[in-house]
Amino acid sequence: MTEFKPNSIDKVEVDKGNVTWRTPSNIALVKYWGKEGVQIPKNPSISFTLHNCATITTLEFQKKGTFSDNFEFEFYFEEKIKESFKPKIESFFKRIEEFCPYLKAYKFIIKSENTFPHSSGIASSASGMGALALCVMQLEKEIYPKISEDYFYKKASFLARLGSGSASRSIKGKLVVWGESDAIPESSNLYGIPFPFEVHDNFKEYCDTILLVDKGQKQVSSTVGHNLMIDHPYAERRFQQANENLAKISEILQNGDVKSFIKLVEEEALALHAMMLTSTPSFILMKPNTLEIINRIWKYRNETDSAICFTLDAGANVHVLYPKSEEETIKSFIQNELAAFCEKEQYIHDFIGNGSERK
Ligand code: DP6
């Protein structure tokens, strides 16, 4: 990991400035659930990068007048100062400090906003931590102008992972793999990499409509859920399954086999929730409407031979995945049949994007 510690060569004095990054959320197809050590995943995962659901973060930095041995920052969320978010950022800074020794030399103002409603139940940790990690890397790039583009993105993903595991998959690329897999050359537990093979046309343009089934605060956080995989009776088999599924989906994404894609993606979503149902203590994040929607998607698929399928993250919301070629018909199906099972009939149309952008 010393590869991510900057050396003192080619350092430039940077007094002040500001940088802005827009980082999208992502939806895992093969799920990360279970970790060890400092944010090391128990199995590899792969996700589609989203486009519309994103966090935009600006980092303003100014060299401190005199050195002080603490992190100095203010945090604004949607233009209001947010003290309650500060501990998360403070612990993120602490975690990355050994790789970013310049952090304590600056005072920061961090301003962040989401393109989706905060209370939508959509995980904002991936986009939020991703955007902050990229802003930190942009500052690093100003201080060390010679760092390569490859290093920039790898380290951004590495830092994002230390903030939130899934954030490592929101940095660069349409499909991102995080975690070591024999099927994916150069894959790493330390950072995400863009899926390295040519993707079949069938999967190049995919849509994800997020059905907001329950916008409330989750009863069990992801962090607690990951921890419940320690000593879980089915953990080892699950990690093995995820490894097998990653190898399978890599083939599927290259050969364009939509039927196998559907089977695998839905199996992964239900396996994730099965881990929750069978942990000690057990918990259920799905709601009755989650199940209703799943059943209606199955029925629609049986009747129409559509390529529609669903996946779930750690919550009650349903991600409806479908090829762009079916966009019009599936959008009407969602509006006419599924919206009724969403809180306030709300859903968000999204599609696969390219990853983070500097603003
Ligand atoms: C179910 O990345 O939110 O969405 O590393 O503790 O921040 P931390 O967890 P987080 O977990 C995401 C879990 C998931 C599956 C996935 O995105 O792969």
Residue 334 has pLDDT above 90, yes or no: yes
| Ligand 1 center to 150 CA (angstroms) | 25
Q: Please report whether residue 105 resides in a domain.
A: yes
Residue 188 has pLDDT above 90, yes or no: yes
Question: What is the spatial distance between Cα 170 and Cα 175, in angstroms, rounded to a whole number?
Answer: 9
Pocket test for ligand 1, best of 26, 29, 30, 32 (most atoms within 8 A of CB): 32
pLDDT, tens digit (0-9, with 9 covering 90-100), for 4-41? 998 766 777 899 999 999 999 999 999 999 999 999 99
- 175 and 67: one domain? yes
- 74 and 211: one domain? no
| Ligand 1 center to 16 CA (angstroms) | 34
User: What is the pLDDT at residue 123?
Assistant: 62
Structural domain count, the chain: 2
- 182 and 311: one domain? no
The two three-digit tokens of residue 272, written as one number: 């994730």
* Bridge partners (DSSP) listed for residue 41: 35
User: What is the pLDDT at residue 218?
Assistant: 72
| Ligand 1 center to 75 CA (angstroms) | 23
Question: What is the spatial distance between Cα 23 and Cα 25, in angstroms, rounded to a whole number?
Answer: 7
- 222 and 330: one domain? yes
Residue 119 has pLDDT above 70, yes or no: no
Instruction: Say which residues have a Cβ less than 8 Å from residue 345's Cβ, sequence separation at least 6.
Output: 339
pLDDT, tens digit (0-9, with 9 covering 90-100), for 243-285? 999 999 999 999 999 999 999 999 999 999 999 999 999 999 9
Residue listed under structure tokens 């944010």: 39
- 185 and 46: one domain? yes
Q: Please report whether residue 357 resides in a domain.
A: no
- 174 and 213: one domain? no
Ligand 1 pocket by Cβ (under 6 Å): 28, 31-33, 39, 45, 123, 125, 164-166, 222-223, 226, 272, 313-314
More confident residue, 218 or 100: 100
The two three-digit tokens of residue 335, written as one number: 């509006």
| Ligand 1 center to 172 CA (angstroms) | 17
Pocket test for ligand 1, best of 42, 166, 227, 249 (most atoms within 8 A of CB): 166
Domain end residue (candidates: 197, 221, 237): 197
Query: What CATH number is associated with residue 212?
Result: 3.30.70.890
pLDDT, tens digit (0-9, with 9 covering 90-100), for 283-330? 999 999 999 999 999 999 999 999 999 999 999 999 999 999 999 999
Question: Which residue range(s) make up the domain with 121?
Answer: 2-197
- 207 and 193: one domain? no
Atom 7 of ligand 1, nearest CA residue: 164
| Ligand 1 center to 171 CA (angstroms) | 15
| Ligand 1 center to 147 CA (angstroms) | 29
Residue 142 has pLDDT above 90, yes or no: yes
User: What is the pLDDT at residue 120?
Assistant: 65
Atom 12 of ligand 1, nearest CA residue: 166
Give the CA distances from residue 73 to residues 1, 62, 87, 105, 167, in Å, rounded to whole numbers and listed in that order.
27, 10, 11, 11, 21
- 308 and 330: one domain? yes
Query: What CATH number is associated with residue 44?
Result: 3.30.230.10
Give the CA distances from residue 314 to residues 1, 95, 131, 225, 319, in Å, rounded to whole numbers and listed in that order.
30, 24, 21, 9, 11
- 98 and 191: one domain? yes
Domain end residue (candidates: 197, 225, 244): 197
User: What is the pLDDT at residue 117?
Assistant: 76
User: What is the pLDDT at residue 136?
Assistant: 98
Average pLDDT, the chain: 95
User: What is the pLDDT at residue 266?
Assistant: 98
Sign of CA pseudo-dihedral 185, 159, 20, 150: negative
Q: What DSSP designation does 73 have?
A: E
- 179 and 221: one domain? no
Domain end residue (candidates: 143, 170, 197): 197
